[in-house]
Structure 1
Amino acid sequence: MSLKTLLSTVLLIIVLSCDETPKSTFYTIAYTSKETGTIEIYSGNAEGKSTIKRTNQSGGYVAWSPNGKQFAFYAKYDDRKTWSIHTMNIDGTNRKRLTHAKNKWDNVPDWSPDGKKIVFARAYKDLNGIWHPEIWIMNADGSEQRQITSLRGSNPYFTPEGSIVFSQEFEDKSSAISIADIDGKNSIRLTHNNGAKEWHPDVSPDGKQIAFMSDKDGNFEIYVMDIDGSNQKRLTYNDVRDSMPSWSPDGSQLIFHSKTDENRDVYMMNKDGTEVKKIISNVGQAAWLKSIQ
């Protein structure tokens, strides 16, 4: 090979290497908005741009399937008295209603790591006015629905290993973050901030940390802790309600909601609470797809 040919080959390799595009995380955040007058699901990038409307009927609290091809969400019926879990493709097609329990609030769905099951919360008052916060599980097509009877709570979320992290509800209406096996056995309480309300746990992609919201310091803020409940750390310090954290696919950042009486905006920050910035205005219930697309 001549020197000229060798140099040309090396240059081509360098150009190709520089031009190699990393996997895009362009459409990685889904959220809800009332832009059209009803709550609809949208998706966009981490800069809050290039949004795409995904639903043509009301839908809320979106959860991505592990492969990023479907959403699970809830919608309301019977003058908002019945909430039901749905799935659909991310382009808005193949919408399916999976639960039909009348006068029950089925909400906050999450997919198992293999995409075969969906866990969700069900809440309702009985004829005596007693509140029942339940956790249910079903196949992703809606079949074989059953209550995980040993768990009393809401906001269930799968770990990468298939355990369930959830908000354990107590009779005094306080709550704590707990973890249990998928069948409800071996439940362990992770937080012990008596009297606090602690909701919406979200597990990091590597399964080592949990982000959650808590009012233990008097106002709802975002916290993070190790999967065993140790090393709890407060990340936000605001005089408004901060809620519903969601991890980035690489586990380096979190998005969360910051709500005032007038606005509900989505912010992004590093996992240590630094570099906080607003990315989307006047939207809600944002969730980050947990895999690189």
Structure 2
Amino acid sequence: MKYIKTICILLPFLSFLVGYSQNNKKTESTSYTIAYSSKETGDSEIYLTDSKAESKTRTTNRPGRDGYIAWSPDGKRITSYGYYDGGNTWSIHTMNSDGTNMKRLTHAKNKWDNSPTWSPDGKKIVFARDYQDSEEVWRAELWIMNSNGSEQAQIKPLNGGGPYFTQEGKLVFHSIFHSNSEEICIANIDGSNVTKLTNNKAKDLHPEVSADGKQIVFMSNRDGNHEIYVMNIDGANQKRLTNNDVDDWNPSWSPDGSKIIFQSSDENGEKHVYMMNNDGSSVEKFINNAFDAVWLKTRK
């Protein structure tokens, strides 16, 4: 009887150990391929999830919004922006993909540093800087630095934001041409040889190049509100993919180019991430209470 009692006591404990081991193996084997922001805890933090949004982990835990995320080319690090001074200062950070080793790279007070992107070799980061100058004129600049934050310099020939690198090391970005017009452009990293890819009296923003380098997905309000569009890398064959009463923002390609994720709002104004085919079909909600999602596209 003593042996039976002992076994009865041990069985629940053994079951717990087996379950714990299985859960650990599941966590260890999870391949996180999408980074996004969420206010799930009340503050805007960065999370990672897998390609089916079945598992997630939070990587930041600090006061102030964290977002505008970009993966390093090898998928081992993330760069993003974060709020300081009550949101009056935005700064660029880097960290390991698991959230460890976070470093603040920019410290320009009362300036909004945002939209960081890695160069194809992972050695440089380009970011946007927005601020009002001493004459209260709004400035939108592009800056470049080493990935450790050193040697920060403005790319003076360029203005605008939303930079993204092509595989060849050129910059795709949106540039301001007048108060109501922002166009998608491509240029050399030193700011030379600027070519305008869109030409609308509207705001064309947030370009992202597909992994094969052949297409650009972006957002535009040319038809009344912000919708998702796609075009060839040379600006040809521009096509609208979404058609909603609310704004659709911040598109990102899947690694194979077959899917696009983007953020939109529901009838209550809550932000969610949606996924669709690259032709705009089969739209479905993908991640609840999420925004600024970006897909990892590892360069070999």
TM-score when scaled to structure 2? 0.87
The residue identity in structure 2 corresponding to 1:104 is: K
Match of 1:279 in 2: 286
Deviation of 1:292 (Å): 8.4
Residue in 2 that maps onto 1:38: 43
| Match status 1:47 vs 2:52 | yes
Aligned to 2:95, the other structure's residue is in SS state strand
Is 1:231 matched up with 2:205? Answer: no
Looking at structure 2, the residues matched to 108 and 168 of structure 1 have their Cα atoms a distance apart, in angstroms, of 14
The answer to whether structure 1 residue 83 and structure 2 residue 73 are counterparts is: no
1:241 aligns with 2:247: yes
Which stretches in structure 2 are left out of the alignment for 5+ residues? 1-28
- Match for residue 266 of structure 1 among 258, 267, 273: 273
Find the counterpart in structure 2 of residue 205 from structure 1: 211
Q: What SS does structure 2 have at the residue aligned with 1:170?
A: strand
Query: Which amino acid letter does the alignment assign opposite residue 203 of structure 1?
Result: V
Q: CA deviation at 1:262?
A: 1.7
Aligned length: 269
- CA shift, 1:47, in A, is 2.4
Matches of 1:266 and 1:122 in 2, distance apart? 26
Q: Distance in 2 between matches of 1:78 and 1:174?
A: 31
1:132-147 correspondence to structure 2 within 5 Å: 132-147=139-154
Aligned-residue offset at 1:171 = 3.0
Q: Which runs of 5+ in 1 are unaligned?
A: 1-23
1:215 shift after superposition: 0.4
Counterpart of 1:214?
A: 220
CA RMSD of aligned residues (A): 1.5
Distance in 2 (CA, whole Å) between partners of 1:88 and 1:56 is 13
* 1:117-138 residue CA offsets vs partner (Å, 9 max, x unmatched): 0000000001211000000011
Residue 255 (1) aligns with residue 261 (2): yes
- SS state at 1:257 partner: strand
1:116 matched to 2:113: no
Report the alpha carbon displacement of residue 271 of structure 1 after superposing the two structures with TM.
0.9
Q: Which residue of 1 aligns with 2:163?
A: 156
**Match of residue 181, structure 2, among 151, 174, 187:** 174
Separation in 1, partners of 2:211, 2:42: 34
Structure 2 distance, partners of 1:82, 1:149, is 21
2:114 match: 107
- Which of 36, 41, 61 is matched with 1:56 structurally? 61
CA contact (8 A) 1:25 1:292 kept: no
Residue 61 of structure 1: CA displacement? 1.4
What is the aligned partner in structure 2 of residue 69 from structure 1? 76
Q: After TM superposition, give the deviation of residue 170 of structure 1 in Å.
A: 2.4
- Aligned letter for 1:262? G
Check conservation: 1:222, 1:234, Cα contact below 8 A. yes
Letter of the structure 1 residue corresponding to residue 61 of structure 2: N
TM-score (norm 1): 0.89
Q: Is the 8 A contact 1:66 1:290 kept in 2?
A: yes
Letter of the 1:218 counterpart:
G
Amino acid at match of 1:79: G
Letter in 2 for 1:124: Y
CA contact (8 A) 1:259 1:265 kept: yes
